[in-house]
């Protein structure tokens, strides 16, 4: 039976129905690249590029080795000859039935053909068969550039096929189970209007007209909040038909063969521009000025650098709308793609996107795999500019804070253009970078009336022309205010515009007397606020309390002191009135102006003690959830003791280390902001305890700067508390953060201070921990004799206090340094004792670390087979433990390669070292260069 290759999910090879193990990430990436170009010759240079951004000198040889290993694997399972050598490259030869991607494409083409031939039932069966081949995200677990780009295109193709499938099923009357399926899809993909339209039709056919209309309102709310646009014409027609009880039966948009997504070859061409509103009005002069500023023969050899323009103006004046409208008009000038970044520059709490965050998003969009992104901002910016070099792309940077936030994000390639929106004129960019300034003012003349006419219909506005004039005057020409008023009027097509104008006149648009417009926007927001229940109003006000960029359902429930079920109901009320948006399932946020509006209401309506109590509940939610997650990640880490969790909290569910890491990742920015907010609010115990719970996650994921900043804040809080034990603990933690950054003088300063505090307290375990930390720091600096001294002091203190795992760590540290000094017998004596303790305690990470030290010592004594056995045991422990440590696996494989080389087995050494590099995905670890040098020397 021939081999079967599966890419529509995790990469898998099967022989006789059983999975075949493929080597490290490099082999998997090369295999994936060959499969994407199955039955065609893939040049070796392309295979090299699929693995490395900056290939080493030995890249071609490493590719040949990886292909040889793949051939050996396939031959052992009846697949001899699957990979053939061709001139300058390799060809992977498969029949269509052997590759799930080919089967998917064939079934998809058949389904589209049948759909075009008015055979929806047959089309649906073919499309369902195509979709059944998917086992998850395409190439899940692989993130090489070319593979990641193909995965994105394939997943988009899957969604398009799914949309067409449910439309065909609806067209031929197959409704069974579709409502449940579509409800989940719409929740997961809230901006895909075809899915929403299909769900509306299915609900209507089930006699649930109100629910169908509610779907439209939710989608309209999400589009308005996320993108500032209205639903497309097809979705609006579906809504209007259902409103009239005359729903159409045709699909929203038929896909034809020209809609197919290319899944092989070519560079990523991002098209990130949010949809533009259909009701754009005026701004003719500004559009011409942008044409002149940003055209400059983009991509020509005569252009010296990228063109830049800055649109500035007050909040709600339409900067983003103008920028998007121009960008869509000019998209053809930038055939290599259009990028969009929301920089969050102006918000009430100053939570602007950091340049590093924005660059990471841009690099993601350009197809650069996350593991290849350097940690240094300057290096990230250089990689970003290099990726854009020679391409013609538009970069839209929305809502910028200042010049320093924007500068790292500017392209340098002459073929590119950057369009920036900001409330700040960004004159520094005008002066230094030659940016063209464009100041946007309020709408004037007939533009506001034209906007309302397009949104509400000319017949309706003509019938009540005086009311329209009154509305325009009350909105002061502010596009945001006009848009919100128009949305409300459009939601009630039978309501009188005269009555709406009277309400505006009676309540007033505060603040117009002094020439500002923000109070008018507050008044418009109040119309939606008035429709809320009392509990929803309270939650809306309290949502202004958190400093983070968004909030989970569980955190919102804790903030309000209610149940998750009740919080979900209240958040649903808020999303329906467009006061908050659900950006991803279960996470909620709102616009900066709405946050300011909510904060003003809270200041006026909620006593300060109530708001502080809400903040305490929220911080308790984060603290107790993070504490549980930290224990799940590393149950053997030194713990802090918390009092019992207060009643009424809705805590995160983290049963495994993977659950915990996923929760930390989702809440990362929120948690860092919570630490800083707790510090500002002088909730000192929350500050240092929450910072402490974050350290394990931040260390494992390499967020070193966040670790330093949160621990620095924690130290401020600890000193205010006057708790010496807490100060010592926090100083030790911040020292470890500095140590990871290579700032050893800062690390030692804090460790010495912590040592003094522990000595004053008579805390022997604390002193031992500091000595262990000093030993590790000295080892990093090559000062092994001093490291042995501190490890010995730690071991004595741990042993005297009965701290078993600490004692084992200290013995292992001393043993490692003895081995580095060539004192192998001493190393073995201490490390064997440490291993016995680690096995007794049941700590697999400590066992693996100690086995590594023992293996290094055996290698030094010439007992290379015993050394290799130790490294294999350590690898098994490391790979089977929860929350794997990839950098430690790299070190073990490096040492294993040393042992095999010493035994005279260069092939085994080469395999170990190649696996070591695969385990870290060619990251910028300094040790990776040493391993590459060893491979070159073989």
CA of 603: how far to CAs of 297, 542, 728, in Å? Answer: 53, 10, 38
Backbone angles phi, psi at 294, to 5 degrees: -110, 0
Q: What integer pLDDT is reported at residue 763 of this predicted model?
A: 93
Q: Could you tell me if 69 and 136 lie in one domain?
A: yes
Helices (H), 172-208: 178-188, 193-205
Structural domain includes residue 769: no
Half-sphere exposure of 590 (CA within 13 A, CB side): 25
Same domain as 414, residue 323: yes
Q: Is residue 265 part of a domain?
A: no
Report how far residue 315's alpha carbon sits from residue 593's, in angstroms, rounded to the nearest whole number: 8
Domain boundary among 159, 174, 189: 174
Q: How high is the pLDDT of residue 376? A: 81
In this structure, the answer to whether residues 602 and 617 fall within a common structural domain is no
Give pLDDT, residue 590. Answer: 79
Do the Cβ atoms of 673 and 923 come closer than 8 Å? no
Beta bridge partners of 421: 311
Is residue 653 included in any domain, yes or no?
Answer: yes
Query: How do residues 878-893 score in pLDDT, each as one tens digit?
Result: 887 665 677 788 889 9
Element (H, E) at 893: helix 886-902
Looking at the structure, do residues 433 and 334 belong to the same domain, yes or no?
A: yes
Query: 480 and 416 share a domain?
Result: no
Pair (612, 602) in one structural domain: no
How far is residue 667's CA from residue 665's CA, in Å, rounded to a whole number? 5
Taking alpha carbons only, the member of 190, 148, 576, 171 closest to residue 369 is 148
Give the range of the structural domain holding residue 146, as residue numbers without chain letter.
1-174
Q: Which residues contact 822 (CB under 8 A, 6 or more apart)?
A: 860
Q: What is the 3-state secondary structure (H, E, C) of 55-85?
A: CCCCHHHHHHHHHHHHHHHHHCCCCCCCEEE
Sign of the alpha-carbon torsion through 393, 399, 404, 405? negative
**CATH assignment of the domain containing 339:** 3.40.50.300
Q: Is residue 356 part of a domain?
A: yes
pLDDT of residue 305: 80
Pull the structure tokens for residue 756.
């003094």
Does one domain contain both 612 and 712? yes
* 3-class SS of residue 14: strand
559 and 523 together in one domain? no
**Structural tokens at position 789:** 């001294």
DSSP-derived 3-state class of residue 754: helix
Dist. CA 342–CA 421, nearest whole Å: 10
Here the CATH number for the domain that contains residue 537 is: 1.10.10.10
Is residue 238 situated within a structural domain?
no
**Cα distances (Å, whole numbers) of residue 32 to 50, 80, 199, 605:** 9, 18, 36, 59
**Residues 111, 80 within the same domain:** yes
627, 715: one domain? yes
Residue 25 lies in a domain: yes
* pLDDT per position as a tens digit, 317-358: 788 889 999 998 888 888 888 999 888 776 434 457 888 888
Q: How many domains does one find in the chain?
A: 6
CA distance 354 to 359: 9
Q: How far apart are CA 502 and CA 162, in angstroms?
A: 48
CB atoms within 10 A of CB 834: 28
Q: How far apart are CA 648 and CA 629, in angstroms?
A: 19
What are the angstrom distances between the C-alpha of 436 and each of 396, 429, 430, 571, 723?
A: 14, 9, 6, 42, 55
Residues of the chain with pLDDT under 50: 249-266, 297-302, 347-350, 508-520, 524, 922-924
Q: What is the CATH number of the domain that holds 933?
A: 1.25.40.10
Structural domain contains residue 761: no
The token pair at 306 is 């990228």
Distance linking the first and last C-alpha atoms of the chain: 38
Residue 469 belongs to a domain: yes
**529, 551, 570: which is the final residue of a domain?**
529
Q: Are 612 and 543 members of one domain?
A: no
Query: Which of 559, 583, 606 marks a domain boundary?
Result: 606
Looking at the structure, do residues 7 and 154 belong to the same domain, yes or no? yes
- At residue 211, the 3 state secondary structure works out as helix
């Amino acid at each position: 039976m021939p081999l079967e290759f599966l890419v529509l999910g995790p990469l898998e090879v099967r022989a006789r129905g059983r999975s075949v193990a493929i080597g490290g990430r490099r082999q998997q990436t090369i295999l994936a690249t060959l499969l994407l170009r199955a039955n065609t010759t893939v040049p070796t240079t392309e295979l090299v590029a699929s693995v490395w951004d900056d290939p080493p000198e030995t890249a071609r040889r490493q590719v040949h080795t990886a292909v040889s290993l793949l051939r050996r694997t396939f031959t052992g399972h009846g697949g001899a000859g699957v990979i053939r050598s061709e001139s300058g490259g390799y060809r992977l030869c498969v029949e269509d039935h052997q590759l799930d991607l080919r089967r998917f494409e064939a079934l998809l083409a058949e389904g589209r053909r049948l759909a075009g031939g008015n055979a929806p039932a047959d089309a649906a069966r073919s499309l369902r068969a195509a979709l059944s081949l998917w086992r998850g995200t395409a190439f899940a677990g692989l993130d090489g550039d070319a593979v990641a780009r193909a995965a994105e295109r394939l997943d988009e193709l899957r969604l398009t096929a799914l949309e067409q499938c449910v439309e065909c099923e609806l067209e031929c009357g197959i409704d069974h189970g579709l409502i449940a399926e579509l409800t989940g899809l719409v929740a997961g993909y809230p901006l895909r209007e075809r899915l929403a339209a299909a769900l509306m039709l299915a609900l209507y056919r089930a006699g649930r007209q109100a629910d169908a209309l509610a779907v439209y309102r939710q989608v309209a709310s999400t589009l308005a909040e996320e993108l500032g646009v209205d639903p497309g014409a097809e979705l609006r027609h579906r809504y209007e038909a259902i409103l009239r009880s005359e729903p159409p039966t045709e699909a929203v948009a038929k896909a034809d063969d020209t809609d197919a997504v290319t899944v092989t070859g070519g560079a990523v061409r991002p098209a990130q521009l949010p949809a533009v509103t259909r009701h754009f009005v005026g701004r003719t002069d500004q559009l011409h000025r942008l044409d002149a500023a940003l055209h400059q023969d983009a991509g020509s050899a005569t252009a010296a650098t990228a063109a830049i323009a800055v649109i500035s103006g007050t909040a709600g004046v339409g900067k983003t709308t103008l920028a998007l409208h121009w960008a869509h008009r000019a998209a053809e000038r930038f055939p290599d793609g259009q990028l969009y970044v929301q920089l969050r520059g102006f918000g009430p709490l100053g939570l602007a996107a950091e340049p590093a965050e924005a660059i990471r998003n841009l690099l993601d969009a350009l197809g650069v795999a996350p593991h290849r992104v350097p940690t240094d901002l300057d290096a990230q910016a250089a990689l970003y500019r290099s990726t854009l070099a020679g391409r013609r792309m538009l970069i839209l940077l929305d809502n910028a804070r200042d010049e320093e936030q924007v500068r790292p994000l500017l392209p340098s390639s002459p073929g590119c253009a950057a369009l920036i929106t900001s409330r700040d004129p960004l004159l520094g960019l005008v002066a230094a970078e030659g940016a063209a300034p464009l100041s946007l003012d309020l709408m004037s003349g007939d533009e506001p009336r034209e906007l309302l006419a397009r949104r509400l219909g000319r017949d309706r506005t003509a019938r009540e022309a005086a009311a329209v004039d009154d509305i325009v005057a009350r909105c002061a020409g502010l596009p945001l205010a006009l848009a919100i008023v128009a949305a409300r009027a459009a939601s009630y097509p039978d309501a009188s515009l005269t009555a709406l104008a009277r309400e505006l006149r009676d309540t007033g648009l505060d603040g117009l007397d002094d020439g500002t417009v923000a109070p008018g926007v507050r008044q418009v927001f109040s119309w939606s606020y008035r429709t809320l229940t009392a509990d929803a109003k309270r939650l809306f006000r309290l949502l202004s309390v958190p400093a983070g960029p968004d909030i989970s359902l569980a955190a919102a429930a804790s903030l309000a002191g209610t149940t998750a079920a009740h919080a979900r109901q209240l958040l649903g009320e808020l999303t329906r009135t467009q006061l908050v948006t659900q950006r991803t399932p279960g996470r909620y946020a709102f616009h900066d102006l709405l946050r300011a509006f909510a904060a003003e209401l809270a200041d006026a309506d909620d006593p300060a003690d109530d708001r502080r109590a809400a903040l305490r509940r929220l911080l308790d939610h984060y603290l107790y959830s993070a504490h549980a997650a930290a224990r799940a990640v590393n149950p053997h880490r030194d713990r802090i003791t918390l009092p019992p969790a207060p009643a009424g909290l809705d805590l995160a569910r983290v049963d495994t280390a993977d659950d915990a890491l996923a929760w930390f990742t989702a809440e990362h920015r929120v948690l860092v902001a919570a630490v800083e907010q707790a510090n500002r609010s002088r909730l000192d115990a929350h500050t240092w305890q929450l910072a402490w719970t974050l350290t394990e996650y931040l260390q494992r994921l390499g967020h070193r700067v966040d670790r330093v900043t949160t621990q620095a804040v924690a130290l401020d809080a600890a000193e205010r508390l006057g708790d010496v034990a807490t100060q010592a603990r926090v100083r030790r933690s911040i020292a470890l953060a500095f140590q990871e950054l290579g700032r050893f003088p800062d690390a030692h300063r804090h460790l010495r201070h912590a040592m003094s505090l522990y000595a004053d307290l008579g805390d022997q375990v604390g002193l031992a921990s500091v000595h262990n930390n000093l030993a590790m720091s000295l080892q990093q600096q090559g000062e092994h004799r001093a490291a042995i001294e501190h490890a010995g002091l730690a071991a004595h203190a741990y042993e005297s206090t009965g701290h078993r795992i600490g004692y084992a760590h200290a013995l292992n540290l001393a043993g490692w340094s003895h081995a580095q000094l060539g004192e192998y017998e001493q190393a073995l004596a201490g490390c064997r004792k440490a291993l016995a303790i680690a096995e007794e305690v049941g700590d697999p990470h400590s066992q693996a670390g100690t086995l590594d030290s023992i293996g290094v010592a055996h290698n030094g004594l010439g007992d290379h087979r015993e050394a290799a056995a130790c490294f294999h045991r350590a690898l098994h422990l490391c790979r089977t433990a929860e929350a794997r440590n990839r950098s430690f696996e790299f070190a073990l494989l490096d040492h294993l390669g040393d042992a095999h080389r010493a035994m005279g087995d260069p092939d085994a050494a080469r395999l170990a070292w190649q696996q070591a590099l695969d385990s870290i995905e060619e990251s910028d670890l300094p040790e990776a260069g040493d391993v590459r040098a060893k491979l070159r020397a073989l």
